């Protein structure tokens, strides 16, 4: 298995531009998570999906952020318009269900390093 | 509210010495506890977890962790540190009945010196 795949690995854009981050979860995993990591705030959960349905988006910082999961093998996180304070590493993770989900570990992708100038 | 605390930003140990990375939690109900490791420019990797049963949990790369309910702690340990163990370590928790939403600590940087 290739693991969780994220693209691009690095993204540099200018303030005001639209940014789209992509994620392919591990096949068969029912849960998908988007995280943001910064030095100041650490690791933050932005949103997560179960069977392609958003379950909890309380971590999405503002309306400029949106996430979709059109099918079981693909998800996007979009920022429009982007701002310098959005600069961070964005991780996607997936997890299998089966039994009580809460004790299944999450598998993280390599992350997308976003720089907004 | 559920929370996880890692009281040390950085832990320094000499290679071959035992290491401990501390974690305390605040969770209502039965906690499920995890340790993850992050190497530079990589995503987090799962090390071990406590769900129920034996308080001493063994995981990857020779790491283990001890669940202590009375002290609400879940410290990560290794008997003999390696330079290659140098990384950022995260403790995380959720609770039974939750839908998998993990709460992470702020992370502890482990530096193992030769």
Mutate to test the interface with B, among A92, A105, A110, A112 (most CBs of B within 10 A): A105
pLDDT at A100 over 90: no
pLDDT at A96: 86
pLDDT at B98 over 70: no
CB pairs under 8 A between A and B: 59
CB < 8 Å from A in window 54-93 of B: 90
Task: Answer yes or no: are the C-beta atoms of B77 and B65 closer than 8 Å.
Answer: yes
Work out the mean pLDDT of chain A and round it to a whole number: 92
pLDDT at A13 over 70: yes
pLDDT at B1: 75
Rounded Cα–Cα distance for residues A85 and A88 (Å)? 8
Rounded Cα–Cα distance for residues B109 and B12 (Å)? 8
A32-82, pLDDT tens digit by residue? Answer: 999 999 988 889 999 999 999 999 899 998 899 999 999 999 999 999 999
What is the SS3 assignment for B83?
helix
CA pseudo-torsion sign A9, A44, A73, A99: positive
B103-112, pLDDT tens digit by residue? Answer: 899 999 999 9
Using alpha carbons, select from B94, B114, B96 the residue that is nearest to residue B104. Answer: B94
What is the SS3 assignment for B79?
coil
Using alpha carbons, select from B66, B31, B67, B61 the residue that is nearest to residue B47. Answer: B61
| pLDDT over 70, % of chain A | 94
Distance from the Cα of B90 to chain A's closest Cα (Å) equals 9
Mean pLDDT, residues B77-95: 94
B31-77, pLDDT tens digit by residue? Answer: 889 999 999 888 999 999 998 888 999 999 999 999 999 999 999 99
């Amino acid at each position: 298995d290739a693991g969780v795949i994220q693209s691009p690995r690095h993204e540099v854009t200018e303030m005001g531009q639209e940014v789209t981050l992509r994620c392919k979860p591990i096949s068969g995993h029912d849960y998908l998570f988007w995280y943001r990591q910064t030095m100041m705030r650490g690791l933050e959960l932005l949103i997560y999906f179960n069977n392609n349905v958003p379950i909890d988006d309380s971590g999405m910082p503002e309306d400029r952020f949106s996430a979709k999961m059109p099918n079981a093998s693909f998800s996007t996180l979009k920022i429009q318009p982007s701002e310098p304070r959005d600069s961070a590493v964005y991780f996607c993770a997936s997890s299998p269900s089966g039994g009580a989900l809460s004790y299944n570990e999450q598998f993280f992708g390599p992350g997308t390093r976003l720089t907004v100038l | 509210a559920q929370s996880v605390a890692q009281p040390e930003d950085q832990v320094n140990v000499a290679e071959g010495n035992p290491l401990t990375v501390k974690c305390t939690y605040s969770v209502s109900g039965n906690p499920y506890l995890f340790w993850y490791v992050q190497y530079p420019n990589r995503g987090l990797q799962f090390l071990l977890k406590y769900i129920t049963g034996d308080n001493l949990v063994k995981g990857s790369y020779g790491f283990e962790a001890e669940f202590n309910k009375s002290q609400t702690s879940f410290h990560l340990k290794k008997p003999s540190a390696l330079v290659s163990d140098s990384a950022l370590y995260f403790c995380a928790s959720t609770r039974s009945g939750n839908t998998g939403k993990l709460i992470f600590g702020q992370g502890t940087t482990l530096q193992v010196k030769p």
